[in-house]
Amino acid sequence: MKRIQSGLRRRGNSSDGAALVEFAIVLPLVVLLLMGIIDFGFGLANLNSMRHGTRESARRAVVADVGDDSTCTVTGVVVSGDTQKLVCQVKDKTGLDEAKLRVKIDFDNTYAEGEALIICTQYPLESLSGMYSSMLNGKTVNTEVQMRIEKTSDGGTDLTILPAQEAAPIGGDWSWCNA
């Protein structure tokens, strides 16, 4: 009989219930923090990819290398020839969803040696977890690269790159682009 009372007494003095309540209070905060790290981390990774791809494409374009691909999705504007190839190169180099990435190409004056080539890109943010939708969805990450054009001829053929501006993604605009 003594054993049973001792066992009952031990259960009555247990702190398991308090630990469970503390866990129930802390768990939502930890999940919220973890989802924030994931959502904002993906946004930062997209920005980094966009910056790198835009910079790489601008570097190639100022030495008259716009690539050969002209089959990418262009939204809200009709571009052709070398301009289309440059837009497709930017979309390819970023590694992001080309249907969501928007590109703007401009110059100080014209596409000529010594002038500045300006490439601006935008990509929409989105919450992967859904917990930060109100903070991220409808916002964009933007990047702008300006470089001096070194040459406009690719092996004897003059490139014809014209200013082009895709429709901005939902929640974005081009007012920030210095072009």
Q: What percent of the chain has pLDDT over 90?
A: 60
pLDDT band, very low/low/confident/very high, at 3 (cuts 50, 70, 90): low
Q: Which residue has the higher pLDDT, 18 or 174?
A: 174
What pLDDT does residue 153 have?
86
What pLDDT does residue 15 have?
72
* Alpha carbons 123 and 114: distance in angstroms, whole number: 29
* Alpha carbons 171 and 159: distance in angstroms, whole number: 33
142 burial level (CB within 10 Å; 0-12, 13-18, 19+)? buried
Length of the chain counted residue by residue: 179
Which pair of structure tokens corresponds to residue 138? Answer: 């409808």
Which pair of structure tokens corresponds to residue 5? Answer: 């009372």
Give per-residue pLDDT as tens, 11-33. 555 677 888 888 899 999 999 99
* Alpha carbons 90 and 121: distance in angstroms, whole number: 9
Which pair of structure tokens corresponds to residue 33? Answer: 């923090």
Give per-residue pLDDT as tens, 84-125. 999 999 999 999 999 999 999 999 888 889 999 999 999 999
* Alpha carbons 132 and 144: distance in angstroms, whole number: 26
pLDDT band, very low/low/confident/very high, at 2 (cuts 50, 70, 90): low
* Alpha carbons 53 and 89: distance in angstroms, whole number: 9
